[in-house]
Amino acid sequence: MYLILPLAIVGTTLSLVFASDSNRIAGGAFNNVTTYQNHTTSELNKRAGTKYVFMHHIVGNTFPYTQADWADDIRQIQAKGVDALALNMGGDSWQRDQIASAYAAAAALGTNFKLFMSFDFSAMGCDVNDLVGRVTQFSSHPNQFKIDGKPFISSFFGSCLGNAGWASLKSQTNAYLMPFIEGIEGQFGNWPSLDSWYCWGCAWPQGNIDKTTDDDNFYISQLGTRYATTVSTWMFTHYSSKNWYQRGDDWLVITRWEQLMAMRNTLTFVEMVSWNDYGESHYLGPVKGAQPAGTTWTNNMPHTAWYDMSQYYITAFKTGSFPAITQDVIYYWARTHPATATASADPLPRPSGFDWSPDTLWAVVFSTSTSTVTLKCGSSSQTFSNVAPGVTKLKIPLSPGKITVTMVKNGATVINQTPSDYTFITNPTIYNENAYVGAAKA
């Protein structure tokens, strides 16, 4: 699953188009100067009504799942404050059984955590009768996510149904619709059936540029509070059919959450992308299930620390207040080889966008009190004094060797971690622009 939404600014006109890699905007440069950015507990803008955070889950990667596997996923996802699982489903018959297993697992754990259908029209047909049957099968289930008593329906793509098809699905199921429908910018007035619309591609920067909110603002100007959006961590894929790196740098997941906080007065729904999209490297959960054939870049590349870190922002978005920092943690991530390295045994060419990625160790420090933090990778090292309480972003250049992160308070070392399963190398055998993500806790 993938879609790019590049933003072209011509004069004062915003034009968002659906495009291939060759249309991504180039430009921008990497600045090696270390960046500090800190915030402490503060109030956010509050708006009447509940805020919801969803987790995108690719059912197509769950072929060997048992109900226990679904229960394990749900426990982990719910523990950080996510409200509901968006079950991204294709047309395979076995996926119906997995959907039922997911609902059964949720019910066995109680009724607090919810699920909803997210039809992937890149992998299934646009048959309204089929969709109605899928929705009504679970619309009365105690774990069905609803808004105003209406079963919630989402999608990836969906222009194939047209407004008439979505209207028919809505009338037959009494549903609340929040699809991502491609190619309807500036035409939302022609789609009155939609209760909301979410921007799939707005989670990532559309080119070698920092992620901004220009695309969000473009859609908000048309949809107002009907607009929903996404937050993600990374994007890399290396198949013969799709082979690219989509910039995930500049602490993307944190930067994006900060942007969503600033838009909080407008937003009701935010979807995290994703729990298990291994093929595109934006997975927040452990690697399990059935990865697409040829997926080599997730091996020994954990991402769960990103989800642990996200709990802070999920809580802030839902409640309107940043929670107190109660534990000292250094979250960190990096790629495993230089962007310009040549892989010695890769049958596929270098991924497009490879030169958009700086060779950087990214870190986010959660500190309960003033501390001194040192980041190292090989011969690259920097010590940051007087790191303030709260959340602080740090970075250093990568150098061949191991990562070490330390935190010192009042002369005592409270964190000292060197992950044994990570080494930054200069001679890769295959290209891998995925990120290794770790967390060092006091």
Residue 331, pLDDT > 50, answer yes
**Confidence at 4, pLDDT banded by 50, 70, 90:** very low
**Confidence at 249, pLDDT banded by 50, 70, 90:** confident
324: left (phi over 0), alpha (psi -120 to 50) or beta: beta
* C-alpha distances out from residue 427 to 75, 158, 355, Å: 40, 43, 17
* Strand-strand pairing, 269-273 and 84-89: unpaired
pLDDT at 28: 25
Assess if CATH 3.30.1360.80 describes domain 7-31+43-319.
no
Query: What average pLDDT does this structure show over 388-405?
Result: 98
The rounded distance, in Å, linking the Cα atoms of 180 and 199 is: 6
Asked whether 281 and 435 are in contact (CB, 8 A), the reply is: yes
* C-alpha distances out from residue 154 to 82, 121, 233, Å: 16, 11, 21
Where are the chain's structural domains?
7-31+43-319, 329-441
- The encoded tokens of residue 254 equal 């944190």
Residue 24, pLDDT > 60, answer no
What per-residue string of b and e applies to 232-247 under the rule 16 or more CB within 10 Å gives b? bbbbbbbeeeebbbbb
Residue 23, pLDDT > 90, answer no
C-beta atoms surrounding 326 within 10 Å: 8
CB neighbour list of residue 128: distance below 8 Å, 6 or more residues apart: 161, 165, 168, 169, 172
Q: What percent of the chain has pLDDT over 90?
A: 88
pLDDT at 232: 98
Query: What average pLDDT does this structure show over 226-249?
Result: 96
* Strand-strand pairing, 197-198 and 227-232: parallel
Task: List 441's β-bridge partners, or say none.
Answer: 329
- Cα 319 → chain centroid: 20
Query: What average pLDDT does this structure show over 379-384?
Result: 98
Rg value, the chain, Cα: 22
**Confidence at 47, pLDDT banded by 50, 70, 90:** very low
Query: What average pLDDT does this structure show over 293-302?
Result: 97
> Does pTM surpass 0.85?
yes
Strand order in the sheet with 412-417: 380-387, 371-377, 403-409, 412-417
Q: What is the pLDDT of residues 115-134, one digit of tens each?
A: 999 999 999 999 999 999 99
The rounded distance, in Å, linking the Cα atoms of 210 and 144 is: 37
Owner of token pair 């440069």: 29
